[in-house]
């Protein structure tokens, strides 16, 4: 027991654990709406042993010893493990079990990889959950005196942003209004793929495919967030926009390099830090220019008319400007953070989905058959899109097989019991989505790509807390609906035009730099259908 934990806290925690154990048994045995899992369904009172009910402390928790002062940090920097944080964590879980602790320098993190523990964590969340701060973003914002946005803010400030933005981003009707844009951008992606195909090959590779997918994501997200068509996929893309797209990519890459020791990089003014600052400056400047242009345009329109429309009809930007709950500076910062978050995640998810389809020709054929049922020449509605079951299953299976965010995280804002351990307030808990999704105990044939497992007819037999690629709860991904809608639209257009094939038989390994990416090696080619 650590000195900082009072008896009262421990007693409260112990009774919390007993209560949780009882609730968990009751839920599993009697509640229809609880996650149905073969494992959970077979839990009995005997499974909750005495040792689980008696609360333990962090000191009792297993975990790697690590090196003096540095802890396990060197493990992640070893050559073989670089960019493989998801796999290092998986191996630690294989050795130490479903919950372990590790010291990274002076900080102790806890990792979990069991859907029941994930559920426990989410059920204990406060109304304003926190993820670990993205230090590089925070340092930049402090330096330039910029406001935080939905990604970087915490507490009541975050809640205000979330409430305002959810009204537009989480409502199906609001997302449905972007269908035309997403479909048009999907067509532009197909055109760009054709332009960039190497002309002398049959089944052609595409030059700079990751950049093309990045540009697609910037164009789709921009259309939704900024109410602007940037022209990222056009041959005559303006230089300003080209710099903008590059800046978005640089900001994420350098942001990842700055995950550790961001403050030291800032103090020493290293190249990584300077590039990071430069990319944020570019993004902010362009984002602010777009918002200002819209503000001017709106000032010339009838406000009452605008306020009436703003629930569904108007774009996100018009809605934010009309509803006035956020200041102009808050709008700048929120739109920029939405754009930054949306582009990296969506482009990499689409890239990985294409790779999985290339690797699994049968799944690709089945998807093409479903898509061929819809007319090539008429616009598809949002409801029709959501009814394409196999398309949804392919994207879900891609995100299970290679979750784009392989490790989610929370910083608990009160002492919490998870898995029978009292975890002190302020501890960072890593939720290992990748590890859980590749665990045979959670998914049958976990190392195989089987979209059919997501079809309603297949009687899903896994715990929904195992595969949460968009996170969960009030802090879960606010762009989920938008991301799915833009990815579905892009896949429809691609499948209508091309068959995708692998260009290598070698093993293709992803790397993790906050997002899991195949952009360092995406060996696929596009053959005309």
- Least distance in Å: CB of 131 to ligand HEM? 5
From 171-179, 207-215, 444-452, 474-482, give the range in contact with ligand HEM by CB under 6 A: 474-482
- Between 100 and 488, whose beta carbon lies closer to ligand HEM? 488
The nearer residue to ligand HEM, 125 or 281, going by C-beta atoms, is 125
Output 150 or 524, the one with its CB closest to ligand HEM.
150
The single residue among 85, 175, 286, 477 that binds ligand HEM, judged by CB under 6 A, is 477
Mapping DSSP to helix (H, G, I), strand (E, B) and coil, where does residue 112 land?
A: strand
Comparison of 55 and 339: residue with beta carbon closer to ligand HEM: 339
Going by DSSP bridges, is the β-strand pair 428-432/107-112 parallel, antiparallel, or unpaired?
parallel
Q: Is 342 in the site for ligand HEM (CB under 6 A)?
A: yes
481 near ligand HEM, judged by CB under 6 A = no
Sequence-ordered list of residues with C-beta below 8 angstroms from that of 143, at least 6 positions apart, any chain? 266, 277
Q: Distance between CA atoms of 323 and 334, rounded to whole angstroms?
A: 15
DSSP annotation string for 114-128: -HHHHHHHHHT--SS
Find residue 526's DSSP bridge partners.
Answer: 204, 500
Which among 400, 404, 492 has a CA at the least distance from the CA of 449? 400
Backbone angles phi, psi at 353, to 5 degrees: -60, -40
Nearest to 39 by CA among 115, 123, 120: 115
Give the nearer residue to ligand HEM in terms of CB position, either 164 or 499: 164
Q: Measured in whole angstroms, how far is the alpha carbon of residue 23 from the centre of its chain?
A: 30
For residue 469, state whether it binds ligand HEM (rule: CB under 6 A): yes
**Which CB, 75 or 188, lies closer to ligand HEM?**
188
Binding flag, residue 513, ligand HEM (CB under 6 A) = no
> Any contact of residue 345 with ligand HEM (CB under 6 A)?
yes
The one segment of 3-11, 83-91, 325-333, 335-343 that binds ligand HEM by CB under 6 A = 335-343
Length of the chain: 529
The residue among 221 and 364 lying less far from ligand HEM, judged by its C-beta, is: 221
* Angstrom distance (rounded) from CA 198 to CA 202: 9
* Between 37 and 346, CB nearer to ligand HEM: 346
Q: Compute the distance between CA of residue 282 and CA of residue 297 in angstroms, rounded to an integer.
A: 23
With contact defined as beta carbons under 8 Å apart, do 478 and 150 qualify?
yes
How far apart, in Å, do the first and last CA atoms of the chain sit?
65
CA separation for the pair 345, 358 (Å, rounded): 20
115 lies in the binding site for ligand HEM (CB under 6 A): no
The site map against ligand HEM for 176-215 (x = CB under 6 A) is ----------------------------------------
Task: With beta carbons less than 8 A apart as the criterion, state whether 342 and 225 touch.
Answer: yes
What are the beta bridge partners of residue 56?
Answer: 421
Stretch of residues binding ligand HEM (CB under 6 A), selected from 6-14, 47-55, 238-246, 470-478:
470-478
Range 124-153, binding ligand HEM (CB under 6 A): 131, 150-151
For the CB of residue 502, give the shortest distance to ligand HEM in the complex, in Å.
22
Residue 485 sits in the site that holds ligand HEM (CB under 6 A): no
Find the angle CA(167)-CA(168)-CA(170) to the nearest 5 degrees.
75
Among 121, 226, 418, 482, binds ligand HEM (CB under 6 A): 482
CB atoms under 10 Å from CB of 117, counted, come to 22
- Candidates 178-186, 301-309, 358-366, 472-480: pick the segment binding ligand HEM (CB under 6 A): 472-480
Residue 208 per-residue DSSP state: T
Eight-class DSSP state of 205: E
Q: Which stretch binds ligand HEM (CB under 6 A): 49-57, 186-194, 401-409, 452-460?
A: 401-409
Binding test (CB under 6 A) with ligand HEM, winner from 72, 254, 314, 349: 349
CA distance 60 to 187: 56
What is the rounded CA–CA span in Å between residue 228 and residue 221?
9
> For ligand HEM, which residue of 282, 346, 427, 485 counts as binding (CB under 6 A)?
346
Size of site (CB under 6 A) for ligand HEM: 25
For residues 217 and 346, the answer to whether their CB atoms sit within 8 Å is yes
Using CB under 6 A, which of 279, 284, 341, 489 touches ligand HEM? 341
For 295, residues 6+ apart whose C-beta sits below 8 A from its C-beta are: 321, 328
- According to DSSP H, which parts of 102-178 are helical? 115-123, 135-144, 155-169, 172-176
Q: Nearer to ligand HEM by C-beta: 161 or 462?
A: 161
Going by the DSSP 8-state scheme, the letter that residue 3 receives in this structure is: T
Q: Does 352 bind ligand HEM (CB under 6 A)?
A: no
Position among 408, 427, 485, 517 found at the interface with ligand HEM (CB under 6 A): 408
Site for ligand HEM in 220-239 (CB under 6 A): 221
Q: What are phi and psi of 153, to 5 degrees?
A: -80, 160
How far is Cα of residue 200 from the mean position of the Cα atoms in its chain? 38
Contact between 338 and ligand HEM per CB under 6 A: yes
| 499 has binding-site annotation | no
Q: Which is nearer to ligand HEM, 322 or 468 (CB)?
A: 468
Q: Which is nearer to ligand HEM, 360 or 433 (CB)?
A: 433
Nearest approach, Cβ of residue 162 and ligand HEM (Å): 5
Binding site as annotated, residues:
477
Instruction: Give contact residues for ligand HEM (rule: CB under 6 A).
Output: 131, 150-151, 162, 221, 338, 341-342, 345-346, 349, 404-405, 408, 469-472, 475-479, 482-483
Positions at the binding site for heme:
477
């Amino acid at each position: 027991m650590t000195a900082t934990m009072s008896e009262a806290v421990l007693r409260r925690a112990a009774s919390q654990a007993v209560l949780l154990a009882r609730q968990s048994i009751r839920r599993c045995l009697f509640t229809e709406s609880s996650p149905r899992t073969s494992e959970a369904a077979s839990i009995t009172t005997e499974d909750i042993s005495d040792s689980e009910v008696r609360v333990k402390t962090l000191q009792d928790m297993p975990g790697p010893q690590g090196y003096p002062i540095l802890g396990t940090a060197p493990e992640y920097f070893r050559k073989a493990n670089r960019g493989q944080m998801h796999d290092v964590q998986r191996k630690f879980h294989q050795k130490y079990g479903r919950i372990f602790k590790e010291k990274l320098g002076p900080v102790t993190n806890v990792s979990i990889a069991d859907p029941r523990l994930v559920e426990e964590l989410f059920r204990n969340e406060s109304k304003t959950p926190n993820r670990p701060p993205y230090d590089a973003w925070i340092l930049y914002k402090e330096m330039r005196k910029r406001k935080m946005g939905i990604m970087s803010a915490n507490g009541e400030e975050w809640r205000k942003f979330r409430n305002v933005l959810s009204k537009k981003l989480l409502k199906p009707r609001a997302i449905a209004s972007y269908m035309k844009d997403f479909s048009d951008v999907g067509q532009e992606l197909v055109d760009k793929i054709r332009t960039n195909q190497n002309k002398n090959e049959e089944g052609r590779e595409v030059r700079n495919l990751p950049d093309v997918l990045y540009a697609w994501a910037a164009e789709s997200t921009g259309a939704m967030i900024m109410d602007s068509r940037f022209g990222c996929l056009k041959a005559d893309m303006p230089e300003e926009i080209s710099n903008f797209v590059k800046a978005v990519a640089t900001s994420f890459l350098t942001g990842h390099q700055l995950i550790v020791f961001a403050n030291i990089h800032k103090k020493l003014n290293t190249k990584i830090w300077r590039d990071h600052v430069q990319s944020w400056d570019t993004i902010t400047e362009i984002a602010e220019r777009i918002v200002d242009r819209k503000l001017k345009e709106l000032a010339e329109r009838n406000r009452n008319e605008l306020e009436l429309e703003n629930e569904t009809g108007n774009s996100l930007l018009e809605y934010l400007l009309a509803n006035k709950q956020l200041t102009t500076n808050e709008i700048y910062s929120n739109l920029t953070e939405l754009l930054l978050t949306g582009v990296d995640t969506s482009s990499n998810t689409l890239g990985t989905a294409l790779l999985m389809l290339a690797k699994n020709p049968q799944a690709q054929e089945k998807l093409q058959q479903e898509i061929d049922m819809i007319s090539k020449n008429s616009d598809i509605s949002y409801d029709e899109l959501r009814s394409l079951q196999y398309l949804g299953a392919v994207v879900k299976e891609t995100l299970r097989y290679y979750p784009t965010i392989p490790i989610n995280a929370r910083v608990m804002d009160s002492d919490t019991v998870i898995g029978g351990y009292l975890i002190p307030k302020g501890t960072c808990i890593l939720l290992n989505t990748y590890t859980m999704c590749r665990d045979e105990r959670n998914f049958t044939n976990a190392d195989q790509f089987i979209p059919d497992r997501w079809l309603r007819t297949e009687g899903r037999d896994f715990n929904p807390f195992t595969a949460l690629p968009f996170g969960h709860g009030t802090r879960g991904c606010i762009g989920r609906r938008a991301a799915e809608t833009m990815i579905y639209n892009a896949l429809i257009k691609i499948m209508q035009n091309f068959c995708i094939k692998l260009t290598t038989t070698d093993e293709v390994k992803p790397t993790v730099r906050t997002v899991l990416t195949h952009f360092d090696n995406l060996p696929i080619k596009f053959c005309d259908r």
